[in-house]
Structure 1
Amino acid sequence: MQSPLPFAALLFNAFVWGLSWWPFQQLHRAGLHPLWATAFMYALVLVALLAWRPGVWAQVRQHPQLWLLALSSGLNNVAFNWAVTIGDVVRVILLFYLMPAWAVLLAWRILGERPTPMALARLLLAFAGVALVLLPQGGAGSLGRQPLSLADGLALLGGFMFALTNVTLRRLHAVPGPARMFSMFGGCMLMALAAAFAGRQAGIVDSFPPLQPGWMATAALLAGVLLLGNWALQFGAARLAAGTTALVMLSEVVFATASSALLGAAALNARTLLGGALILLASLLAALRR
């Protein structure tokens, strides 16, 4: 009989990311923009990783191709954390879960994996769901007059970058795990800092606030929980089939939807639910294929 611990670990990771929007919003209300929060938290995580594996930097320098992994995972975190802070949480999560569709296109381009007819069908299904989610209240005729919101654009970018991260991880499977982890966390910190400074120059990101025990403790606690969630993902994914992992991780949508609806951070309507069902069906079919 298989141990339930890998399933529990994956559920814990999905729970952490499904509820991560709430502490990011609390930090934002305390004056800490999600970009500064992301940079601050991953700086703490990097210090902890270096203390645990002092020689990891030498491993990273031996594999310059890890810069692509740092870029994609960094932009993924920046986009997701910013989007769930300022946008409708359910809408953001659904647009983010377009990643299986992006993965088909990226695997075709980067790994040379030609899509099967079923993969193309999943692609069409997912994009049809996105069209429903993004359709304005005025219907299709008002699409041109209502451009994407910043949160919508960030969610789509985050999903694309997450798919690129997964494809890149497959390509770099021979690189030691600690080096990959360091590159991902380092990319999160560097991309968040770069975006924060650029946003500050553009006037859309506030300056880094004075240090206060309240938000510093919250950010440090969230950093520890995210690090624990990452470890849980590594533990569960290493012991379960890829399809099973993908299926369990879809529970993140359930956690995010339930928590945001209960706390008033999302507006649910029939069109969003139908579009979300199509997107999740595409993800489900991709998971079952594996």
Structure 2
Amino acid sequence: MNTTSPWLRNWPVLAIMLGASVWGMIWYPLRMLAALGVSGTVASASTSAAACLCVLLLRPRAIATLRWHWLIPTLGFTAGITNLGFVWGTIHGEVMRVLLLFYLTPAWTALFAHFILRERLTWAGAGLAALSLAGAMLMLWSPRLGMPMPGSLAEWAGLAAGMGFAMSNVLIVKTSRVLPDMKAEMRTATIFGGAAIFSSCASFFEAMPAPPAGAHLATAALLVCALGFVLATNNMLVQYGLARVPANRASIVMLFEIVVTALSAWLFAGETPGPREWAGGACIVLASALASWVHRARPEPLDGPGDEAERRNRSRAMV
């Protein structure tokens, strides 16, 4: 008879849900940094650097598992696109529209996995990709604007972030197969470190607002450190959940982020999606949920010592 308490049995799911809640509200402290005079690129670089440092301080033994391979800088580069696109988009655009464009990952993942992981692109995968793109077109279409394309730089940033996130996920799988001895924490540090370097380089091309000074500078520094700690610990918390929850179930639980984002955007930013946004968003969320169901129905064979690490490391190092 199973004597484990329901709380302990459900804790991995709660850990993933808590992680999704953090990601759904992270846009608000980022806007606080922007209000203090910290630009999007600087916010992305500073919070990522703080998170990378925090991971290395909490898990110093992981550093010894780092090995050179071309996948390492590539993973850092795609993570940088993901991070900066998400941060810049949520600061300057409508949070829900940016997030829904970000969640077009089923479409991009199917394509990237086909070419990089040599996974066969099935009719089901192609159909889910088409459903995601149809949802985006429905959300973005306007008789006045014509073509269903992102209408602002912030929306383009959200779209690029989603593509970068899909590529990062595929590269994490590839890295876990090629470098199976590399610790999960070291991959997380690589993602945050790559995001910090990429955003630092991008900051040279952004018009900087007046930097914070005095009390504002102290508040901004404290907020950056707090965000770095939250992001690092949140990532490791989600890794704990992903190691104990089936991937298809975890993917559905992660969609809780959209619910939290919608509520926080309504409460703190006064954003209320219209009928087209709801309909398009429903298509995108449905495609994400069905993608996890298809994954369960068509399990991939394990083919190497890194496959257990692969499931452990499909966590999201965001921001």
Q: TM (normalized to structure 2)?
A: 0.83
Matched, 1:289 2:294: yes
Letter in 2 for 1:7: V
Question: Could you tell me how far apart the structure 2 residues matched to 1:54 and 1:64 are?
Answer: 23
Do the aligned partners of 2:212 and 2:220 also contact (CA within 8 Å) in 1?
no
**Matched-pair contact (CA < 8 Å) for 1:27–1:215:** yes
Match of 1:230 in 2: 235
Over 3 Å counting, the alpha-carbon distance change for 1:57 and 1:86 in structure 2 is same
3-state SS of paired residue (1:268)? coil
Question: Contact 1:69 / 1:169 at 8 angstroms: preserved in 2?
Answer: yes
Measure the CA separation in 1 of the matches of 2:143 and 2:271: 16
Between the aligned partners of 2:291 and 2:169, the Cα distance in structure 1 is 14
Distance in 1 separating the partners of 2:213 and 2:224: 14
SS at match of 1:23: helix
Does residue 1:143 correspond to 2:147, yes or no? yes
Q: Is the 8 A contact 2:30 2:87 kept in 1?
A: yes
Of the two structures, which has the highest relative contact order with CA contacts closer than 8 Å and spacing of 6 or more? 1
Shift of 1:206: 3.2
TM-score by length of 1: 0.91
The letter of the residue matching 1:254 is V
TM alignment of 1:179-190, pairs within 5 A: 179-190=186-197
From 13, 17, 36, the counterpart of 1:30:
36
Separation of aligned partners in 1, 2:223 and 2:68: 35
Letter in 1 for 2:147: L
> How high is the sequence identity, in percent, across the aligned residues?
32
Aligned length: 283
Residues 78-116 of structure 1, C-alpha deviations (whole Å, 9 max, x = no match): 100111111101101111000111100101111111211
Give the root-mean-square deviation of aligned CA atoms. Answer: 2.0
Match of 2:112 among 98, 106, 115: 106
Equivalent pair of 1:83/1:152 in contact (CA under 8 Å): yes
Residue 246 of structure 1 and its aligned partner are, at CA, apart by 0.4
Three-state SS of the structure 2 residue aligned to 1:263 is helix
Asked if 1:215 corresponds to 2:220, the answer is yes
**Rounded Cα–Cα distance in structure 2 between residues aligned with 1:136 and 1:223:** 39
Which stretch shows the higher mean deviation, 217-226 or 270-279?
A: 217-226
Change (3 A) 1:49 1:149: same
Which of 81, 85, 89 is the matching residue for 2:87?
A: 81
Which consecutive unaligned segments of at least 5 residues does structure 1 have?
none
Match of 1:42 in 2: 48
Residue of structure 2 in register with 1:261 after alignment? 266
Any stretches of 5+ residues in structure 2 without a counterpart? 296-319
Q: Quick check: 1:167 aligned with 2:180?
A: no
Most deviating of 123-132 and 39-48? 39-48
C-alpha separation between the residues in 2 aligned to 1:227 and 1:261?
27
**Is 1:279 paired with 2:284?**
yes
Which residue of 2 is the match for residue 196 of structure 1? 203
* CA-to-aligned-CA distance 1:4-61 (integer Å, 9 cap, x gap): 1101100111000000111111110111112211211222223223333445455334
Check conservation: 1:89, 1:265, Cα contact below 8 A: no
Following the alignment from structure 1 to structure 2, what is the Cα–Cα distance between the partners of residues 30 and 112?
46
> SS at 1:206's partner residue?
coil
8 Å contact kept, 2:251–2:292: yes
Instruction: Give the whole-Å Cα distance in 2 for the aligned partners of 1:97 and 1:230.
Output: 19
Of residues 124-133 and 54-63 in structure 1, the stretch that sits farther from structure 2 once superposed is 54-63
**Could you tell me how far apart the structure 2 residues matched to 1:287 and 1:97 are?**
14
Greater Cα shift, 190-199 or 87-96: 190-199
Paired AA for residue 48 in structure 2 = Y
